[in-house]
């Protein structure tokens, strides 16, 4: 596996551990629907939370969350709608981003709740 893929998998693992520690329940990891993939689908209370994990080895060219395109948002919304229908769930949905950068040997994790909305 390429080094950047390993970096992404490690970032997802750190994000998942962080969220589990905060009381979120994991429903799906790397959920696919059509061309879309949702990194983490979590539930907390009566909310389905779609988590996009974005990791960068540096923020020199911009923060990780700045690299989420409108096309990616549209695909995430479609995938979450598919998941809700497939599982016959009626939950409020929230879209979060876990932005990760590395500073030296330290991983810096930032949890952005309500990072975007389905109608953007």
> What pLDDT does residue 63 have?
66
Domain count, the chain: 1
Domain containing 40 equals: 3-105
Residue 114: inside a domain? no
C-alpha span between 80 and 39 (Å, rounded): 11
Q: Token digits for 117?
A: 């909305």
Tell whether the model's pLDDT for residue 112 goes beyond 70. Answer: yes
- Please write the tens of the pLDDT for every residue from 35-80: 999 999 999 999 999 999 998 766 656 665 766 778 888 999 999 9
C-alpha span between 96 and 83 (Å, rounded): 16
C-alpha span between 16 and 109 (Å, rounded): 11
Residue 119: inside a domain? no
CATH of the domain at 71: 3.40.1350.10
Q: Token digits for 17?
A: 């551990």
Contact 88, 43 (CB under 8 A): no
């Amino acid at each position: 596996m390429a080094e950047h893929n390993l970096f992404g998998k490690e970032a997802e693992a750190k994000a998942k551990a962080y969220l589990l520690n905060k009381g979120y329940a994991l429903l799906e990891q790397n959920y696919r629907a059509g061309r879309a993939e949702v990194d983490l689908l979590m539930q907390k209370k009566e909310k389905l939370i779609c988590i996009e994990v974005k990791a960068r080895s540096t923020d020199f060219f911009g923060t990780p969350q700045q690299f989420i395109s409108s096309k990616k948002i549209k695909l995430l919304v479609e995938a979450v709608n598919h998941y809700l229908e497939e599982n016959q769930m009626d939950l409020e949905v929230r879209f979060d981003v876990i932005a990760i950068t590395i500073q030296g040997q330290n991983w810096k994790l930032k949890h952005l709740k309500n990072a975007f909305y389905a109608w953007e």
